[in-house]
Chain A
Amino acid sequence: MSNPVVEVRGASRVYTEDAVPVHALRDVDLTVQRGEFVSLAGPSGSGKSTLLNVIGGLDRPTSGTVSIDGVCLNDLNDTELADLRLHKIGFVFQSYNLIPVLSARENVEFIMQLQGVGAAERAQRAADILQSLGLETMGDRRPGELSGGQQQRVAVARAIVTEPALLLADEPSANLDSTTTGELLDLLRVLNETRGVTIVAATHDPMVMSYAKRRITLRDGRIENDSTG
């Protein structure tokens, strides 16, 4: 039975740079089913980050529609988009983007606090996720006191602790060495296979692509290849 988390229909995104239109996306159609692990690959400027941002409601398509878990993003204002991102989407960014003034534990609890989860439940879920990611001793450290790999694991913990419908990762391995990248991808695979987290990752990294069950390649703003297996 079809159970799409992401539905992109005829999405185009045109930027204007120095009065010259740049077509970052051209009439893209994409459906991602619940529980899929999808990689978006392609050369720089192919549109993979733009597609990821459009799916995450951080950017709006110039034309076409985007729906997340059945909600059409085109109809939402900035505040409604913020609420949708808060409740349905987890983000893992290339440069971690943790909150520097909060500890690892507080960073993990942050999204739950925005959602209004109670203090006791928040603390328990944060402790559980940090333990499952091998970060139980790092909870009180601030991002500046953690290695790149540890920060990225905290970012993943923050993104998945609320069990979002969709996890979006933008170049998640860009600042990591191969060992740490392997650990991160093992973690994402476990989350995908055991918890059924739907993952869409934009990447240049063949290692990330090898972990994804479905690999989409973009070129010049169009889907060039979409393969599973």
Chain B
Amino acid sequence: MSFALLMRLSLRNILRHRRRNAMLLAAIVVAVGGVTFMNSFIRGFQQDLRDSAVNNLTGHIKVFAPGYRDDPGIERSFYVAGDWRPDVSSGLLEGWAARIRIPAVIMSERETRGVQLVGVDPSQEGISFLGDAFYEGETLADENDKRIFVGQALVDQLDTKVGRRLVIITQGADGRNREAGFRIAGVYDAEGTGLEKAFVFTGRAALQKMLDTREVTEVSIRLTNDGAGSSVRSMLLSYFSGLEVMGWRELEPQIAAMFVFADTAIFIWFAIMMGALVFGLVNSLITAVMERVKEFGMLRAVGMRPGSVIVQVVIESSLLMMSGVALGLVVGWLLCQWMSEGLDLSQWASGVEMVGMRSVVVPRLYGADMMLVAGLSLVLGIVASLYPAWRAVKIKPLEAMRR
């Protein structure tokens, strides 16, 4: 039987009940648009989680001495040659940094706090949040800079300001305490991510000199492509024999778990929205089919095969679904454009800080997600139409025509 004929019949039958089908179309548009919009927010949240994990001095891959994660200290350090750089093709490597990161106590005239003291080479820190942090005062000049770069929240806690001196106590390589005064070069703003209270930065070489060591406690690598991690990891394991090499998912297991949960959330959200829609679609199609039982009986009486009747109902459902999906994706895209500045979660800032996220989530719309929503919706549309179609052919032509 001619597919064109079935298409024409289906299309005209859709137009025959304009109001009902317009309502159904609107429901599909709202569901698909809503799913697309919510997916983009979940993706934005997911992206933010990953960025937070990677930006948070972790990078995609990190190298450190065995035991450092459980008991971080200068005694668990290792040597990195001055001319060493990761053996990774330039297209894959975004940057790398070698740091000393040790626990310390920081004191102002009024307050004392425990912090992570991090010795960095500022020229390498484009790979971490330091690279694009807002700040007041000055950043560290180079790895020999003896000043410190402190977070705004810590400055508030210590009740101090740029230019003032703070005293830091930590343990040197020989196991004895070191105590020194540091002037505040600048105060960074990490956009409420909670990092401000945790990290105090100074020049790496200056800190090595204070601790009396030439070693570092970590090497952090940032890649352009998350997927290239395994090959780079193999290379690092080979070079840094005896050290631990870990990816951000192992280093930030909570964030990694939330990252995976976001994928699941997308499917759960899709299932809820589209599941509800499918019931409406099936109900509407059953009504449409039952209204036309006599007509289907006549079509079969004059020679239309049962299979063609099924195809006709499936085409009607698919046409409605395709139109609704296309319009719904456009609506979802428009909503994303409207919210392109992001959703401000600052009211729940303390909650999002806990996972190191920024307080503004920007929706991210991916072509693959849109294709997935479109594909699954069309499959659901076809599946939803099978039962009404089966109802249409279950009734014998003669019985149908008598109704």
Contacts and interface: CB of A to CB of B under 8 A. Distances in A.
Interface string B169-181: 0000000000000
User: Which one of B12, B15, B307 has the highest number of Cβ atoms from chain A below 10 Å of its Cβ?
Assistant: B12
B13 interface: yes
Interface in B1-58: 1-2, 5, 8-9, 12-13, 15-16
A53 interface: yes
A100 B303 contact: no
A93 B401 contact: yes
Given A53-B398, A59-B398, A100-B16, A85 B301 contact: yes
B305 A83 contact: yes
B2 A91 contact: no
Interface stretch (A32-40, A110-118, A130-138, A220-228): A110-118
Contact of B302 (A79, A85, A100): A85
A82 B298 contact: no
- Binding site secondary structure of chain B: helix
B300 interface: yes
Contact of B397 (A58, A87, A115): A58
Contacts of B397: 58
Contacts of B192: none
- Chain B interface size, under 10 / 10 to 19 / 20 to 34 / 35 or more: 20 to 34
Contact of A116 (B2, B294, B306, B307): B2
Nearest to A109: B5
Interface in A143-162: 158
Interface in A12-64: 53, 56, 58-59
A99 B295 contact: yes
User: Which one of A87, A100, A101 has the highest number of Cβ atoms from chain B below 10 Å of its Cβ?
Assistant: A101
- Binding site secondary structure of chain A: helix
A97 B401 contact: yes
A181 to B, nearest CB: 22
B17 to A, nearest CB: 10
A114 B302 CA distance: 9
Contacts of A111: 302-303
A187 interface: no
B371 interface: no
Contacts of B398: 53, 58-59
B153 interface: no
A176 interface: no
What are the nearest 9 A-B pairs in CB distance? Answer: A86-B303, A101-B12, A97-B298, A58-B398, A85-B303, A113-B5, A82-B305, A79-B305, A113-B2
22 contacts: A56-B301, A82-B304, A82-B305, A83-B305, A86-B302, A86-B303, A86-B304, A91-B301, A93-B301, A97-B401, A99-B9, A99-B298, A99-B299, A100-B16, A101-B12, A102-B9, A102-B12, A111-B303, A114-B2, A114-B302, A115-B303, A116-B1
